Amino acid sequence: MASLLMVAVTACGGGGATESKGEGTGGGAATAAPAAKQSEAVLRISPEDGAESVKTSGALEVFAEKGKLTKVEVKDDEGTKIDGDISADGAAWIPSTHLASGAEYTVHAEAEDADGRVAVKDTSFTTLTPANTFIGHYSPEDGAKVGVGMPFSLRFTRGITEPDAVEKAIEIKTDPPVEVEGHWFGNDRLDFRPEEYWKAGTKVTVRLNLDGVEGRPGVYGSQAKTVTFEIGRRQVSTVDAKKLTMKVERDGEVVKTIPVTTGAPGSATWNGKMVISERYEVTRMNGDTVGYEGEYDIADVPHAMRLTDSGTFIHGNYWGGDAFGNYNASHGCVGLRDTRGGWDKKAPGAWFFDNSLIGDVVEVKNSADAVVAPGNGLNGWNMSWEEWKK
């Protein structure tokens, strides 16, 4: 009985040993599967992993050798992705924008070789923290409602020697869409406008992606900000220096005709399209500041609105007597009858002030002076579209 049991047990084990000589599926030693072949694609990322004080432009590049890039993902320390493009041949990727300063970035890259095998590489680096920076002071203010002539104007705290890099870092979107172009006045001011006055009701969004832009050697932008503003009703007022009148036109209709006085002989008012850039309920006007030394110093000019950087205003005038509509008596400003202290809201100066926005247009014609320079105030409308885009 014991002998029979031993045979049965032996038979059970012996059957497995016999099958192992064939397909190897029995209880014998298994044959090891061949190791997967590594991808021949080689990834090269610049800067090297762990690099510090990396330049914000021109330093980041990803290359694939013996294969093609299939994915490149670059993120900053807040998880924001950096846009870029893989070349048509799959050999290279470069960012489409500059990097921010003083930020840590991670790079994840993938490439495939001719047999579809994937190579992966991950690195990180930190950009430089600049010793010298610049910003752009802008107008209009964020959230403002402005007139149809208002450009988006930036005045930089340092002279810019790399204007293309700075302009590329400013994105403007409008609703409804309209083409908007920038124009430089010198090396420290950049204005943006459409070909014609803005359409009433247009909403404008400006993205200032200046952080990390090298505006001049060793001087980097430090702004990352979004600014929005809205265009109000269309108001364009036309001053006739010969007829001594101003017609206020709103949304295609003349709503008021106001008698005015403009620059007297020898100090005529500029001709041309001028945009209201500042508004003051009351301000001091001193001739010493604009080349008329000792000729006037009025401490309480009511309802004053700036038209040029050189000192042209349209303002209330309580001292002009019967000049309004009769003769030109100012030192170059456009004067409207008003009261001292501006108490009479029905006076032309007060009415016009209360019905005007920063960005409204005042156009002067038939004056003895030349057309105002486009950069003297926010007055780029005195340039053709072709000149503006140069």
Give the number of other CB atoms < 10 A from CB of residue 341.
12
Tokens of 76: 């900053």
Residues of the chain whose pLDDT is less than 70? 1-35
Q: What's the confidence (pLDDT) of residue 292?
A: 79
Residue-level pLDDT at 288: 76
Q: Can you list the positions of beta strands (E) in 210-277?
A: 214-216, 219-221, 224-231, 235-240, 245-250, 253-261, 272-275
pLDDT value at position 293? Answer: 75
Question: pLDDT tens-digit profile of 47-80?
Answer: 999 999 999 999 999 999 999 999 999 999 999 9
- Domains annotated for the chain, with CATH where assigned, are 42-127 (2.60.40.3780), 132-231 (2.60.40.3710), 235-383 (2.40.440.10)
Q: What is the pLDDT of residue 116?
A: 96
pLDDT digit string (tens) for 369-386? Answer: 999 999 999 999 999 999
* Residue 32: predicted pLDDT: 60
- What value, to the nearest 5°, has the Cα angle with vertex 331 and ends 329 and 334? 70
Residue 296: CA count within 13 A, CB half-sphere? 15
Nearest CA-CA partner of 318 in 285, 347, 291, 297: 347
pLDDT digits (tens, 9 = 90+) for 210-262: 999 999 999 999 999 999 999 999 999 999 999 999 999 999 999 999 999 99
16 touches 28 (CB < 8 A)? yes
Q: Note the pLDDT of residue 352.
A: 98
Is the Cβ–Cβ distance between 182 and 216 less than 8 Å?
no
Residues annotated catalytic, as ranges: 315, 333
H or E element at residue 11: helix 2-19
- Across the chain, what does the average pLDDT equal? 92
pLDDT at 29: 52
Q: What is the pLDDT of residue 19?
A: 39
